[in-house]
Every structure is written in C-alpha cells, then in structure tokens.
Amino acid sequence: MTIPRLLIDRIGNTHERKNVYLRELAELEERLAQAEGEEKNRLLEAKKKHIAEKDKHPYHIALQAYKQEEKAHAARIKELEKMPASADLPAPLQRMEKMEHSAQQDKVFYGPYADLDYDAELAYRSALVILDRVPPVLEKYRQEEQLIRQLEAHKEEIDPQEAKAFLQDHSVYAVDRKKIGKARIRDIRNKYREGHISQKAAKQETAQERIAMRDDIKAHRMTGPYAAVHDELEALRFRQKKQAKDSAQVIRSDIADLRRSIPEETEKRKPLIAYLTAPFPGLGQLLNGQSVKAALFFIGLLFIYGIAIPYALGYGNYQGEGIAGLLSLAEGGLRVHRSLFFMIEGIIAICLLLIAVVILILNFRDVYGVEKNAIRGIRRQNWFETWRSIRLEGFPYLVNLPALILIIFIVLVPIFTMILLSFTNMDPQHQSKFQWIGLRNYQIIATGTGIAGQAFWRILLWTIIWTILATSLAIFIGFALALLANNERVKGKTFFRIVYILPWAVPAFITIMFFSIMFSPQGMLTEILSQVAGRTIQIKTDTFMTRAVLILLQGWLGSSYIFLLSTGVLQGIPGDLYEAAEIDGATPWQQTSRITIPLVLFQTAPLLVGQFTFNFNNFSIIYLFNQGGPFNPIVYGNLAGSSDLLISYIYKLTIENQQQAIGAAITLVVSLGLMFFAFLGFRNSKAFKEERL
C-alpha cells in the first residue's frame, strides 16, 4: 500500500503534505507505479536509499528537534497549570484562565513550527481561538461582578422600615386589584348570559382580564425598593453561570471545527492496530488516543470474556451446559435435569455470543475506520466530537438499544425455543428428557397421520372458512351500520352509535358466555328455536349449527371495531365529493361504490388485514362457547372438536395433552403461512404501496 501524496481532512478538502520526507517518498511511489524496465529499477533503488537515509533527511532532523523542544514545552505547561488561578473567579472560569495562560505559551512556541507540522499548526490555531474567546469572557465576568457588588451595597442601604411598609401597601394593592378583576370577569359573564357577546368572546375577554390582573400586580411589586434590585441580581448571577458554560462549549466547538479542517500525517500504511486488537475491545481505542471511547468498549470486553463466553461454556447455567447442552439436551444427565432447561440456556448462550460478536464487529470497524482515516489524513475525533456525533447521529440507536435487548430475551428466545422444540420428540412420555428427531413432526403434519396429526387438515380448512366468513361478516355489518349512523336523514345518531359500540365496550367473554348459556340444551334461545322449528334443536351438539352460531356471534362482536373505524373515515370525507357526484347524475349506490367504499378501504385496509389475522387466532370465542365441540372422535380423534381452530387445537395439544413438539411444529407452520398471507394483504393495499401505513 502506497503512501498518499495529498491528505484529506474530515470536511473533504485536500492538503499538500508538510512532511517533506513523506511527500518525496509518496512522489517516488507514484512514479514507481507507472515506470517500467530500467526506470523502475532505478526508482526502486532511489526509494530504498530514501528510506535508508531517513534519519539524515533535513526535514526529519528538523522534526526531531521540534519534538524534543515540544517535550520541554509540555513540561513547562504542566508547571504553569499547577499555579493557582485568580481567587475572584469561579471554578469554571479559573480553568478558562489557566487555559488562557497555556494558550499564550502555545502561541509563542508553536507559531514558528506551524508550517513544519500539521499538529503544530493545530496547536497554534487552537491557542489563537482560546486567546480570542477567553479574555472577553473573563473581562465581562469581572464587570458584572463589580455591578453585583454595587447592587448588593445598594440593597443593604435600603431602609427595612420602608421595605416593610411597601410590602403592606403591595398586599393591599394586590387584594384590591383582584377584586376589580373579579368584578370585571363577572360583568363579562353577565354579558354572555344576556346574549350581548358570544361564548368565544367571553372566554377571550376573561383570559385577557386575568393576564392584565397578574401583570398589574407584578408591575406594582417591581416599584418596591427590594424587587428591582433582587431581580437584577438574580438575572446577573444566572447569566454569569450560563455564560461560563456556553463559552466553554463554544471554545470546544471552535477547536473541533479546526480539527475537522486540519489533517494529520502518519507514516502508517496499513491499519495494523485494528487487526491486532480485534479480540480486545477498548485496547485499539486506547492506542488510538481515544480514552473515553476505550472505557466504553472495555465494558463490552468485560461482557464478552466475563459473561458471554463463560455462559456459553456452561458456567453460570441453572442446569444446562451452554451450547453443549443445546446439543445433548441433558442426555445422560442427572434425573433432575430437564432437556427444556438445557435447550433454553443453550439458546440464551447463542444470543449472548451473538451480542458479543456484534460488539467485536463494532470495535473492529471503529478502530479500523479511525486508522484508515488517519492514513488518508483525517484527524481522529476527540471525546467532544464523538459525543456530539452520538447525540446527532447515534440518538436513534441509543434509544432503541434497551428495547432491542428486551426483544432478544423476551421475544426471540421463546420463538427460537418453539422452533427448536418442533424438531424434538417432547410428548407425554418424554417430558423431562427428549431428543432431536429431525423433521418427523413436520412429516406427521404433512401426511395427516398419528394421533396428533390426523385432524390437522380438517381443522385448517375450517379455520380458513371461519376466518373469511366471520371477518367478512363483521366488516359488512360494521360498515353498513356506519353508513346508517352517518346518514343525514337518520335521527338520534348518538343513541345508535352508543348501541353499535356496546359489543366492543362490554368484555367479549361476558357476551360469549351469555350466548353459550342461551344456546345450551336447556337454554332460552335453544327452546325458542325448537318451538319455531317444531322439533328439538341442539345447537351445541350439531357441527354445522355450532359453526354457524360462532360465525354470526363473531360477526356481531367484531362489527363494533369496524363501525368505529368506518365512522371516523366517513366523517372525514368532504361533502363536496358527494355534491359533485350528484350533479353529475350519480345514484346513491354509485356514490357509495365509487367514493365511500374506496376511501374507507384506503384508510382501513391495513387494519382490516389485522382483523383477519386476529380471527385466525381467535381462541377465546371457540373455547368459551363450546370448548371446541361438538366432539367426533372418529373424524377428529380425541384431541380436537369439530369447531376447534388451529389455535385452540394447539392449546389442547400442548397444555391439555402435553404434545409440545407437534404443537410447536403446527405453530411454526401456521405462523409462517399467516405472516405470508398478511404480507400479501398489506402489500396489495393502496395505503401500503403509498407508504402511508
């Protein structure tokens, strides 16, 4: 890798090298890259000679002399900083005064070397910034401090009896002014009651009177002997405190701007530190001179070698053996060992290792980027510049980091556990200890065999039918009711809207249990239907009737949510659209089909897709109404009923019958299918295409 002849600063400007030795070496390498034959050999010899005679090069001799003098200068600065600052200054300004004294010395020392080295130029120009900014701040502070002393002396000269008399007078004035204000407010309210002014005008005049009352009392207080002096003193002290902080911030910002525009020079050709320190976060930053950043990455080092790797090796596990336990699943372990614990702790170990890998990658990229930029000439950032970049560019990452960690351990670990369980034989005979069995569970599902898989395809078909019919019915009812409730000719809209949202306002399980009782063999609705039909009707023992009632019931329960969505959209549709359509001769049906429905669907399509997803996994209505019955063991086996959805079927498999492995496999298949169809629904909605979700 050749040395670049031109340097680049952080802004992007190019600079000629001040290091004459490196500039000549870069020119030799450029010519060498284009040369051939004898010319190339001659340039190779010239390059070797140039490198061998580095110590004799005039620039190198001058640079070494400057470095030696800089060490002596740094020692003088340390001694200067030990000297006490002015006692009349607060601590922040004392630091600024010391900074000014050091800058005076830096200006004298680095001035002659500014053309020799870019670091010397940066030190010289930084000293100029400090000498330009600090003296006015110190002078202004001393002037304000003198004014404060004058005000305090004036405050002490005030007669206490005079101040006490004014306070009594002010209290009387405040009471009288409040009485006047309240009387005026009563007059305003009376004018409103008599109809002389509008409600809006009454509110505005009342607010104005209250503001005027408060301002008058405050203005009267300011005429007192103490008030003006006290407020001015408080303002001066606050300004002094803020000025010191702001001035230090401005100086740091100006120096940071200098660092961005002044490059640095190095003989380094490759970012070796990044590769050598890659396994040890923090070390590379420390070698690059970024100590605060090194301390932050050192926390990552402690996490990697103190938590992640030991946990992955089994240290600190509750029962498991880290990643090894994930492979063995407690096979050959103690009787109290459970395979599930080994699996979960193995997954946690992998998550911790992944976090460790991310830390190592971020560490390598940071050190590599700093070194790579230094080779090009871009000066490494100090902590002030780094913190400013974090606040401006890294804020979203800092805010999302805690949520990401929670997602990993609260969401992803259970998901990965479910996925891995689907490849095991965890069933009633293998609750404590189970083994890996590969794709056998998925084979059972695909072929519909075994006690757990024979009902899968029938339940899947009924789940799809249920989802489409129940959701479509809820959408139709909710939209139709919204059209009726928003029709101009309908009276008592408030009453109807309250009635229509009752299914949503009342807890769903109460409604479901109510209808479950009403449709029981001795229920009221069952008896009414039997009398109307002239024969005994048993809803809960008939598959078709149970499914029909469930669809109708969910259609009514889900309609309230659709009603609210549609009502909100309908109220936002401009009436001009309907007036223009009516002028063009559109019928009410055409207005509804061409204006209302497209606009409602555009706004609510993503939410309607969510309704299909919700009903696909609607466990409560199935389980509460009839526990998934009626039951037909010949068709559905002993683990499911004819009205069971996949979600209730999975519940019975896992919770009631301890078929966790096959339940996990079904859950994974269903989840993947559901996510795919939900994605298709979102993608095909107009709101999704226009990125207005």
Name residue, tokens 């030696």: 68
Contact 624, 512 (CB under 8 A): yes
Residue 162 pLDDT greater than 80, yes or no: no
What local confidence, expressed as pLDDT, does residue 685 receive?
A: 62
Mean pLDDT of 355-378: 92
Which is more confident, 568 or 163?
A: 568
Q: What's the average model confidence in pLDDT over 221-227?
A: 70
- Give mean pLDDT, residues 65-76: 92
Q: Is the pLDDT of residue 306 over 90?
A: yes
Q: First vs last Cα of the chain: how many Å apart?
A: 50
CB-CB contact of 322 with 311 (8 Å)? yes
Tell me the pLDDT band of 690, cut-offs 50, 70 and 90: low
Residue in the structure block whose two tokens are 């061409």? 594
Q: Which residue has the higher pLDDT, 598 or 308?
A: 308
Provide the pLDDT for residue 588: 76
Own/partner long-range contacts of 144-148 (Cβ < 8 Å, ≥24 apart): 144/236, 144/239, 144/240, 145/88, 145/240, 147/236, 148/233, 148/236, 148/237
Is the peptide bond prior to 396 cis by the omega test (within 30 degrees of 0)? no
Contacts of 21 (CB under 8 A, 6+ apart): 50, 54, 57, 59, 60
Helices (H), 35-117: 37-52, 58-82, 91-110
- Residue pair 380/290 in contact (Cβ under 8 Å)? The answer is yes
pLDDT tens-digit readout, 647-679? 999 998 888 888 899 999 999 988 888 888 877
Cβ-based burial of 518 (10 A; exposed 0-12, middle 13-18, buried ≥19): middle
Q: What token pair was written down for 385?
A: 């510049």
**Domain locations along the chain:** 1-51, 272-421, 445-689
Q: What is the pLDDT of residues 398-408, one digit of tens each?
A: 788 888 888 88
Q: What is the pLDDT of residue 688?
A: 52
pLDDT band at 311 (very low <50, low <70, confident <90, very high): very high
Whole-number pLDDT of residue 152: 73
Share of the chain above pLDDT 90, in %: 28
- Average pLDDT value for residue range 507-521: 89
Integer Cα distance of 555 and 618 in angstroms:
12
pLDDT in tens, 550-599: 999 999 999 888 888 888 888 777 777 777 877 878 887 887 777 877 87
What is the CATH code of the structural domain delimited by 445-689? Answer: 1.10.3720.10
**3-state SS record for 201-252:** HHHHHHHHHHHHHHHHHHHHHHCCCCHHHHHHHHHHHHHHHHHHHHHHHHHH
Percent of all residues in the chain with a pLDDT value above 70, rounded to a whole number: 96
Residue 95's pLDDT band (cuts 50, 70, 90): confident
- Residue pair 652/443 in contact (Cβ under 8 Å)? The answer is no
Condensed to tens digits (0 to 9), the pLDDT of residues 29-63 reads: 888 888 888 888 888 888 888 888 888 899 989 99
Q: Which of 260, 274, 257, 263 is nearest to 372 (CA)?
A: 274
User: What pLDDT does 310 receive?
Assistant: 95
326-348 per-position pLDDT tens digit: 989 988 888 888 999 999 999 99
Decide if pLDDT at 693 tops 50.
Answer: no
Q: 692 in helix, strand or coil?
A: coil
